[in-house]
Amino acid sequence: MVELKSFENGFEYLELKNDAASAKIALQGAHVFEYKYSDSQDVFWLSENSAFELGSAIRGGVPLCWPAFGLNNPDLPQHGFARTSLFELVSSKELGENATEVVLRLRDSKESLELWNHKFELEFKVRVSDTLTMELKTTNLDANEFKLTQALHSYFRVSEISDAVVKGLKSKPRFDALTNKTFIQKEDISFKEEFDSVFQEVDAEIILEDADARLSVKNEGSSSVVVWNPWLDKCSRMSAMKPTAYREFVCVESANAFEDFKILRPNETHILKATILKQLS
Ligand code: TA6
C-alpha cells in the first residue's frame, strides 16, 4: 500500500506498508526517514528535533547527498541541493504481499540551473521489503559532461555507540576528514570519539554490529563508503540534534565521494545502489 500523507504544516510524505515492512519517504529530498520491519524498531535513526519543514534537510534517515558529497563541489551547499528539493512521485507498485516499490524524480529547474548549470534527471527507486533497496539514478540531459559526487547518507540506529562495530573496511585506504590524513585501515571500526572518514576501494559488504543486531550494507555503482559519528562536542553544535544523539546512531554511507567521483557525458547514466538488511542477533 502507498499513501500520500502530510504533517499539520503541509509537509508531504509517502507511507509504504506491506506484510514485511513499512517506510516513510518525504517528497522533499525523496528522503527515507523511516523503515521498519512489522515487529521491530526503526532501522534508521531520526532526530526528534528534526524540523520537517520545506527548505531544511531532515536530520536522520537517508539524506540524498547530490550532486555533491560534502564540499566536493565548493560552489554548492554542503551535500548539494537534492535533499532540500521537491521530488515528484512517478510510479508506485506492489510486488506481491511483501514488497512495495516507488520511484521519485527530480529534474533540473530555474533554481537548480542557477546553482549548478547542468540539465539532469535524478530518479530514486526505493523497494521496501525485508530488505530495503535504494537506487539513485543520475542521467545527464545536458550538452556537456558533468562531474558527480554523491552519497546515500544513511543514519543507522544503534543500541549504544560503545557497542557498535563496523566491519568490512580493514585494509582499505582511509581519508580521515578530522586530520586530513590518508592511511590504510588496520582494524574493524569501533567508536570512542568523533569519527569522520571516507574509505576507498570498497568492494565488499559492510557490516554494522551492535549488542542487538547485525546490519548488512551492500553497494553497487560505488567504491567509497563514509563512516561518521559526531560524538558529543560536534553533536552539541549541530542543527536538529540533541547533545546525546551521538550515542544512538552510526552513519554508514554508500557513496561516490572524493576519488570515487563520476564523470557523466551527455545521455550517460550512473546508478548508486544500496541494499540494507538488518537481522536481530
Ligand atoms: O558524512 C559525514 C558528514 O560530511 C559530516 O562531516 C557532517 O557534516 C555530516 O556529514 C552531516 O552533515 P549535514 O550537512 O547534514 O549537517
What are the grid coordinates assigned to 54, written together? 520545506
Say yes or no to pLDDT of 68 above 90: yes
Residue labelled with grid coordinates 521498519: 36
Q: Which of 164, 185, 275, 174 is nearest to 226 (CA)?
A: 174
Q: Is the CB of 78 under 6 A from ligand 1?
A: yes
Element (H, E) at 214: strand 213-220
Label residues 185-223 b or e (16+ Cβ within 10 Å = b).
beeebebeebbbbbbbebeeebbbbbeebebebbbebbb
Q: Residue 273 burial (CB < 10 Å; 0-12/13-18/19+)?
A: middle
The minimum-distance atom of ligand 1 relative to the CA of 153 is 1
Residue labelled with grid coordinates 565488499: 204
The amino acid sitting at 250 is V
> What pLDDT is stored for residue 96 in this prediction?
85
The CA distance from 81 to 103, in Å, is: 19
Say yes or no to pLDDT of 51 above 80: yes
Q: Is the CB of 244 under 6 A from ligand 1?
A: no
| Region class of 79: left (phi > 0), else alpha (psi between -120 and 50), else beta | left
How many C-beta atoms lie closer than 10 Å to residue 160's C-beta?
11
Q: Residue 71 — pLDDT band, cuts 50, 70, 90?
A: very high
Q: Is the CB of 217 under 6 A from ligand 1?
A: no
pTM equals 0.97
What are the grid coordinates assigned to 168, written together? 568490512
Instruction: Output the CA–CA distances (angstroms, integers) from residue 104 to 5, 42, 170, 214, in the order listed.
Output: 15, 22, 35, 29
Q: Is the CB of 101 under 6 A from ligand 1?
A: no
Average pLDDT over residues 233-261: 96
Average pLDDT over residues 210-236: 97
Instruction: Output the CA–CA distances (angstroms, integers) from residue 37 to 43, 76, 81, in the order listed.
Output: 8, 36, 30
**Total count of residues recorded for the chain:** 281
Q: Is the CB of 31 under 6 A from ligand 1?
A: no
Nearest CA to ligand 1 atom 14: 78
Question: Could you tell me what percent of the chain has a pLDDT over 90?
Answer: 96
Following DSSP, what letter does each residue of 113-135 receive, concatenated? HHHS---EEEEEEEEESSSEEEE
How many C-beta atoms lie closer than 10 Å to residue 10's C-beta?
8
How confident is the model over 95-137, as pLDDT tens digits? 988 999 999 999 999 999 999 999 999 999 999 999 999 999 9
The minimum-distance atom of ligand 1 relative to the CA of 253 is 1
Q: Which domains does the chain have, with CATH numbers?
A: 2-280 (2.70.98.10)
Say yes or no to pLDDT of 38 above 90: no
